[in-house]
Amino acid sequence: MKRDLHIVDVTLRDGSHAVRHSFTEQQVRDVAKGLDQAGIEYFEVSHGDGLGGSSLQYGFSAVNELKLIEAASDVCSQAKAAVLLVPGIGTKDDLEDAVKAGAKMVRVATHVTEADVAKQHIELGRNLGLKTVGFLMMAHMAPPEKIVEQAKLFESYGAEIVYVTDSAGALLPHEVTERVSALKENLSCEIGFHAHNNLSLATANTMAAVEAGATYIDGSLRCLGAGSGNAQTEVLTAVFDRLGYKTGVDLYPIMDVANDVVAKLMPRPQEVTKASLIMGYSGVYSSFLLFAQEAAKKFNVDERDILVELGKMQAVGGQEDLITEVARELANQQLTV
């Protein structure tokens, strides 16, 4: 089927943050089967922080991610499993193991100014026959010209798609337009966009990205993801159908898997809370949310103050250890007042 847009579902990867990496094999099978029947082409499944993410730093997975990739792949007749790989967290060996388990796409993710660390992983992805993607995270932290520079590196390494990734849910629609348009004008490969909903703009930002030339867009069923979650897969399906785009996704079946399967495994409704709103406002990495809430309780400080300080520090993914340090310092300041 010819698709004007490719909706990549991230429920089983970004959603892992929201459930503290507790997905079971049966839950993964149920979600993957529903995505397959609805017509989703690619869907991510791995630890929330990508291959190799199960650790003390990021949180341990309840089930080995290779088993989850295999479980998802086993129930799909046309949908393909994708994995996220963050160099420094995941390794080339991890990627090779993921391919053996059934992965067909790799999305190699770096901070928006550090694309050069991904060369060997992008090249390996292509050599393994994977659909290979470059993922520029925390895209609000760099101007369009810098993003173009980094995206060109991804493209030169062999990336077939380069993503503008709003990891903090901090971008406004005009800022999305500027970044995606710049890539469209300067790259030959396809452009993607990944939204977070911390400012309640995930769908609007995704629409802006498509209007600017993005052809790959990410969504999560019921918004399940880090922070306030992602653009909602079933909503994106409806919106772009209304706009006349072919996505290959059937609306009723994608609504059914969202409401009959994913809703039942969610620990809480995915909504914009005071903490996730501050994340978008301050430009803080979305997966910091639960860590900040835990630190706030431990040190009896306001979680919003922790997140604001992290935003001032321009903390990025991989610096979760700063959360405890910031909370402890805020508690010490309260004692001295």
Q: 284 and 203: one domain?
A: no
Q: 119 and 211: one domain?
A: yes
Contact 310, 284 (CB under 8 A): yes
Pairing of strands 80-85, 42-45: parallel
Does residue 194 have a known ligand-binding role? Answer: yes
Give the pLDDT of residue 77: 97
Does residue 121 have a known ligand-binding role? Answer: no
Q: 251 and 283: one domain?
A: no
Give the pLDDT of residue 61: 94
Does residue 174 have a known ligand-binding role? Answer: no
Determine, yes or no, domain membership for 247: yes
Does residue 97 have a known ligand-binding role? Answer: no
Give the pLDDT of residue 248: 97
List Cα–Cα distances, 39 to 29, 183, 203, 253, in angstroms.
Answer: 15, 28, 20, 9
CATH code of the domain in which 212 resides: 3.20.20.70
Give the pLDDT of residue 260: 97
Domain carrying residue 146: 6-264
- CA 148/CA 325 separation, integer angstroms: 34
Residue at which a domain ends, from 264, 296, 318: 264
For 194-253, the pLDDT digits (tens) are 999 999 999 999 999 999 999 999 999 999 999 999 999 999 999 999 999 999 999 999
Determine, yes or no, domain membership for 269: no
For 39-72, the pLDDT digits (tens) are 999 999 999 999 999 998 888 999 999 999 999 9
Strand partners, 289: none
- CA 104/CA 154 separation, integer angstroms: 19
Residue at which a domain ends, from 201, 230, 264: 264
Q: 312 and 236: one domain?
A: no
Terminal CA-CA length for the chain = 65
Q: 238 and 313: one domain?
A: no
CATH code of the domain in which 308 resides: 1.10.8.60
Contact 40, 77 (CB under 8 A): no
Q: What is the pLDDT along the chain (337 residues), one digit of tens a residue?
A: 567 999 999 999 999 999 999 999 999 999 999 999 999 999 999 999 999 999 988 889 999 999 999 999 999 999 999 999 999 999 999 999 999 999 999 999 999 999 999 999 999 999 999 999 999 999 999 999 999 999 999 999 999 999 999 999 999 999 999 999 999 999 999 999 999 999 999 999 999 999 999 999 999 999 999 999 999 999 999 999 999 999 999 999 999 999 999 999 999 889 998 888 988 998 887 778 788 888 888 999 888 888 888 888 888 777 777 888 888 888 888 877 5
Q: 168 and 315: one domain?
A: no
- CA 220/CA 169 separation, integer angstroms: 14
Determine, yes or no, domain membership for 249: yes
Show the DSSP H helices in 142-232 as ranges.
144-157, 173-186, 202-212
Does residue 285 have a known ligand-binding role? Answer: yes
- What pTM was computed for the model? 0.92
Q: 280 and 168: one domain?
A: no
- CA 5/CA 231 separation, integer angstroms: 15
Q: How many domains does the chain have?
A: 2
Does residue 13 have a known ligand-binding role? Answer: yes
Q: 156 and 69: one domain?
A: yes
Residues with active-site annotation: 17
